[in-house]
Chains A and B, each alone.
Chain A
């Protein structure tokens, strides 16, 4: 046996090495110097991100349980960049609140384990690997959501996340067992040859869909989202809404476009209805939110609805637009959560009315927040517009004009509530506005990268061409 074939899993191996090095660091670094753990983790993860860009062979391992291709590598790199920005943004929070009570390393280990689970999930070649990856990516996040053990709402959000996640994965497993009954295999390639749209398979698919719909927080399964985001530490809320959702959308796309392609006439209708309901519920509930974290939670539900517009096409254009939108969404949402985190860390304020008059005191933060919200809403010069525009193009190319029309209506609704925040920051005057403060280096770096990302990705068109080229073959 040739051990060099294991290098196909280079992303996973390097991340595992990073985790082990952090554990060793925890043992050998003296108590008084524990704050250097944050620097060590950011440094190691930065190296891991850079190594990820080196070229790598494509192929499959373990008899087809694990496979990689160019698009999967690209998505792993995107997730890496997202987590790196997230680490930068939460570095100060970790140093001030978490390292001080000597619980810093567990945070990194749990976060990176969850990322490792996502790697395995998106490279899965059969349902066993997929299930293990799904669980490995969900369980550590539940522990992280309950990480602030002195706060009651943190524990509450943890228990809400773990119970709903367990229910969703249980229902999903029941679906997989039925799929196994009808097709006789758990391998994606073998299933795609024999799958037909009989009644049991359709039921199996609907049950299976639940598990991923829960992770993406599509509408019938979205009830955990707002509560968990509000209670969890902000970096974890941001992780759930960006990284976790991105990975789940990607594997859902692979499954729908390859394995479940013969069922397309069925999942088309499902995705159609769920897209409409998700967009409307997410947007309408976001209108009445006052807490910024809940506000961003409902906004991310609505964004998931828009992503479904790309999924409904089932072809190369759909793949490319979904991946492109995810890339933009990661940058925009991380920027929004980053600003919320910077303000919350400095002042502890998270309500929308606390943001009144922010532009006069903290112009830079307000500008980044404005960029992020414009990008989420889809206002032309920034990247979000192009992401949404391509998604709508993909859906319209298949003749879903009504769906695109409803999506445009929803963009208008979302514009209203995103602009509410912009108005509070720029136009309102307040006597007790948040005073001027200067964030630390890590936070500023994290916000700067997201701002550059939002501005550049939309305008620099070779990125989209590159993604379109990559998305030629999915499995």
Chain B
């Protein structure tokens, strides 16, 4: 627990972080930026879990453990996404979304 800071302030920050992530995912035109936006969303939930655990239910460690698992899974997800992006880059020399639109309707 941090002295002088209530849970409301931290949850506001994580919520803002979450919506920045969603906004970034929907507006960015670059695959890497979209990936970064997804990471923002995941990190918002990680902070959420830890903070809720610490402030509201400090006698159990469920939230903290959950956070560790999310970090590990997020790393795996990023690694896989990056490897697919690299493979795509080898073929079309671009990581822009508009160049990945062969299939439509």
Binding site for B on A (CB under 8 A): 127-128, 131-132, 135, 139, 142-143, 146, 149, 152-153, 155-160, 162-163, 166-167, 170-171, 173-174, 176-178, 180-181, 184-186, 226-227, 230-231, 288
Contact = CB atoms under 8 A, between A and B. Distances in A.
B45 A177 contact: yes
Contact of A155 (B38, B76, B87): B87
A180 B103 CA distance: 40
Contacts of A131: 66, 69-70, 73
Contacts of B100: 156, 159-160
Contacts of A174: 18, 41, 44-45, 48
Contacts of A181: 48, 52, 56
Q: Which are the 9 A-B pairs with shortest beta-carbon distances? A: A170-B41, A177-B48, A173-B45, A155-B88, A166-B38, A158-B84, A181-B52, A174-B45, A162-B81
Contacts of A155: 84, 87-88, 91
A132 B72 CA distance: 10
12 contacts: A131-B70, A146-B84, A159-B81, A166-B38, A170-B41, A170-B45, A173-B41, A173-B45, A174-B18, A180-B63, A184-B56, A226-B103
Nearest to B79: A139
Contacts of B73: 131-132, 135
B81 A167 contact: no
B103 A153 contact: yes
Contacts of A178: 48
Interface residues of B, number: 39
Contacts of A177: 45, 48-49, 52, 63
Interface in B49-67: 49, 52-53, 56-57, 62-63, 65-66
Main secondary structure of the interface of B (DSSP, over half): helix
A14 to B, nearest CB: 24
A159 B84 contact: yes
A142 B84 contact: yes
B30 to A, nearest CB: 12
A135 B77 contact: yes
Nearest to B25: A167
B7 to A, nearest CB: 9
Contacts of A156: 88, 100, 102-103
Given A132-B69, A146-B87, A155-B88, A170 B80 contact: no
B84 A162 contact: yes
Given A135-B73, A139-B77, A227-B103, A159 B88 contact: yes
Contacts of A227: 103
B34 A163 contact: yes
Among A153, A166, A180, A230, residue most surrounded by chain B Cβ atoms (within 10 Å): A166
B31 interface: yes
